[in-house]
Amino acid sequence: MIIQCKNISKKYPGTAQPAVQNLNITINEGEIVSLLGPSGCGKSTTLRIIAGFEVPDEGEIILAGKQVYGKGIWVPPEHRDVGMVFQDYALFPHLNVIKNITFGLKRTRDLNQRAKDLLKLANLDGLESKLPSELSGGQQQRVALIRALMRQPCIVLMDEPFSNLDASLREQLRVEIKSILKQTETTCLFVTHNQEEALTISDRIIVLNQGKIEQIGTPEEIYFHPKSLFVAKFVSQGNILEGICSGNTIKTEYFSLKVNNIHKNNGKKVNVIIRPRGLKPDPNGLIKGKIEDVQFKGESYECIVKLFSPQGATTNFKITVDVQTKIKPGIQQTFSIDENQITII
């Protein structure tokens, strides 16, 4: 185990709520784990506590088997053996690439070889003598990662590493950074508020809400089996309807669904979460709606559909359909439900 955080809590002076509360986190060697949550949920505080830039009020932190906080011990950041990668790259502007990545290290033959290998792996070979200002944002972020890796830290901590880049570059860099981390067998904890980013890059995701852990799991577990409404809404952008179980049917205000294994909930209220691909245009479908908005996303359309209840109520659903689907704003459309895209909580 590379990181063990036990019952970490931190409240900043003068604030009403703790920034993080009773966090228990373990990260295994070679894992890429993301801390995912909305602004202010405590992601950066958690990362900074692990790095040693913030001191928690209580708990214990063990990094690569060494106690760095708790039981009367506090190890300063420079002795924690962690590498940091920041949103704004934090490269030395007056030093070229090779000097940036070897800064503060003894230039031995082994070190030079390591620098060469890592630059090649990050597709930066040939750029050794360039200054940061002569590089693109994606190249600068890869230099920042290589600089962290040069010291062979037990873990790399990344705080929103992609957020300064535009959307297409961000997607490309995610793939490149993941590949570098995996090829170097680096353990990594990274912070993001972007659910798509967390789903694509992580082996496991820790979802934080108001300083507490909502759920920890693989991207698939978090996406397909959210344990709370918060996770369902935040991670899978699910549409939520209240329903009542009756036999193997759930009745909602807008439609009824046949669902297996819900007999034990007979008569109970549940929440039905329908992910964006759960409502499918179907000429034989029984659910009626009106397309309110259509956004082209390249591989798919993201649409807002207004559903009508028999009693005259309406609600807006966010759905995703393939680009082959004939859909445009203003049309009436019938839909069916894809049971694989539903979670009952």
Ligand X SMILES: Nc1ncnc2c1ncn2[C@@H]1O[C@H](COP(=O)(O)OP(=O)(O)OP(=O)(O)O)[C@@H](O)[C@H]1O
Q: Is 193 in the site for ligand X (CB under 6 A)?
A: yes
Closest contact distance (angstroms) between CB of 11 and ligand X is 9
DSSP state of 285: -
E strand or H helix at 145: helix 137-150
Taking residues 42 to 61 in sequence order and writing x for each that binds ligand X by CB under 6 A, - otherwise, the string is xxxx----------------
Q: How far is the CB of 338 from ligand X (least distance, A)?
A: 33
Chain position carrying tokens 């007979």: 266
Residue 312, judged by CB atoms within 10 A of its CB (0-12, 13-18, 19+), counts as: exposed
Residue 239: CB minimum distance to ligand X, A: 25
Distances (CA, A) of 257 to 2, 42, 171, 222: 45, 38, 37, 23
Identify which of 284, 292, 293, 285 has the alpha carbon closest to the alpha carbon of residue 254.
285
**Site map (CB under 6 A) of ligand X, residues 7-26, x = contact:** -----x--x---x-------
Nearest CB to ligand X, comparing residues 17 and 183: 17
Using CB under 6 A, which of 39, 108, 168, 340 touches ligand X?
A: 39
Count the site residues for ligand X by CB under 6 A.
12
Considering the complex, state which of residue 197 and residue 317 has its C-beta at the smaller distance from ligand X. 197
Structure-token pair, residue 152: 């062979």
Alpha carbons within 13 A on the beta-carbon side of 229 = 7
CB of 208 to ligand X, least distance (A): 7
Rounded CA-CA distance 320/223 in Å is 15
Q: Which residues have CB under 8 Å from 195's CB, separation 6+? A: 36, 234, 235, 236, 237
Q: Cβ 58 to ligand X, closest distance in Å?
A: 16
- Binding span for ligand X by CB under 6 A among 41-49, 163-171, 229-237, 268-276: 41-49
Length, in residues, of the chain: 345
Q: Out of 3, 25, 31, 37, point to the residue binding ligand X (CB under 6 A).
A: 37
Decide if residue 161 touches ligand X (CB under 6 A): no
Binding track over 235-254 against ligand X, x by CB under 6 A = --------------------
Q: Which residues pair with 100 in a beta bridge?
A: none
Out of 9, 21, 40, 128, name the contact with ligand X by CB under 6 A.
40
In angstroms, the first-to-last Cα distance of the chain is: 32
- Position 291: which residue type? I
User: Which residue lies nearer to ligand X by CB, 197 or 342?
Assistant: 197
Q: Please report, as ranges, the residues that interact with ligand X according to CB under 6 A.
A: 12, 15, 19, 37, 39-45, 193
